[in-house]
A and B are shown apart, each in its own frame.
Chain A
Amino acid sequence: DTAVSQTPKYLVTQMGNDKSIKCEQNLGHDTMYWYKQDSKKFLKIMFSYNNKELIINETVPNRFSPKSPDKAHLNLHINSLELGDSAVYFCASSQGLADSYEQYFGPGTRLTVT
């Protein structure tokens, strides 16, 4: 059983398009995250949701809009895609807030904007 899953695994699209990445966790965790790993492999947090409530928005452009329909899902919608959005996006979850609990990561979605 996959604990944290993401779809799609690969996404190739053109500049200006709108796309979504889906994330689901079956661990019963309360907190979910989105991270971006750039071409230099540097991993940086984008968003964090706890019980469907946004608790971290790390100065991400408002073209990026996370949506959490329930505790098990945190989707990422990106409008007007730009070349610089090309990266690997990771979803993660933890039992509670990051100060006490380890985070479990999904396999990543490699987004390529052409």
Chain B
Amino acid sequence: KQEVTQIPAALSVPEGENLVLNCSFTDSAIYNLQWFRQDPGKGLTSLLLIQSSQREQTSGRLNASLDKSSGRSTLYIAASQPGDSATYLCAVTQGGSEKLVFGKGMKLTVNP
């Protein structure tokens, strides 16, 4: 059974720091990995999708990497801003099942 873990559960940093958010998964047989952002009381916003054959994806200040063999992904946020404060969720599409399996998320607070 696939399990997705995000540690730590919460992180508070001053503005301007470069951040690394971690995600690990137990079963490397995945189709892809997706990073989402969830603001309080809102739905999820897709940030980046990495296919299993890819190593990384970039969008603006965000860079996500995938090491499928070791079951890890990282989301790198450059020059963090208060507007980056949200919960970040990692999810993998499990091979053969067509379903997303989510981690519990990491709550990020960027202080001005």
A interface residues with partner B (beta carbon < 8 Å): 4, 33, 40-45, 48, 55-56, 58, 90, 92, 97-108
- Residues of chain A lying within 8 A (CB to CB) of residue B49: 101-102
Q: How many residues of B contact A (CB 8 A)?
A: 25
Closest partner residue, chain B, to A40 (CB atom): B104
Given A105-B44, A107-B42, decide whether A58 and B99 contact each other with a Cβ distance below 8 A: yes
Bound complex: CA of A43 vs CA of B91, how far in Å? 10
Provide the B16-35 mask, 1 if CB < 8 A to any CB of A, else 0. 00000000000000011010
Bound complex: CA of A97 vs CA of B97, how far in Å? 10
Q: Output the least CB separation between A69 and chain B (Å).
A: 22
Chain B contact residues: over half helix, strand or loop, or mixed? strand
B32, A103: Cβ atoms closer than 8 Å: no
Interface residues of B in 1-41 (CB under 8 A from A): 31-32, 34, 36, 41
Interface residues of B in 79-102 (CB under 8 A from A): 87, 89, 91, 93, 95, 97-102
B46, A103: Cβ atoms closer than 8 Å: yes
- Residues of chain A lying within 8 A (CB to CB) of residue B43: 4, 90, 105-108
Q: Which of B36, B95, B99 contacts A48 (CB 8 A)?
A: B99
A99, B98: Cβ atoms closer than 8 Å: yes
- Residues of chain B lying within 8 A (CB to CB) of residue A55: 98
Given A48-B99, A90-B43, list of 5 further CB < 8 A pairs?
Answer: A4-B43, A40-B104, A98-B98, A98-B100, A106-B43
Bound complex: CA of A56 vs CA of B42, how far in Å? 25
Q: Which 8 pairs of residues, A with B, have the shortest CB-CB distance?
A: A99-B31, A105-B44, A105-B43, A102-B49, A43-B102, A107-B43, A98-B93, A102-B46
Q: Output the least CB separation between A98 and chain B (Å).
A: 5
Q: Output the least CB separation between B34 and chain A (Å).
A: 6
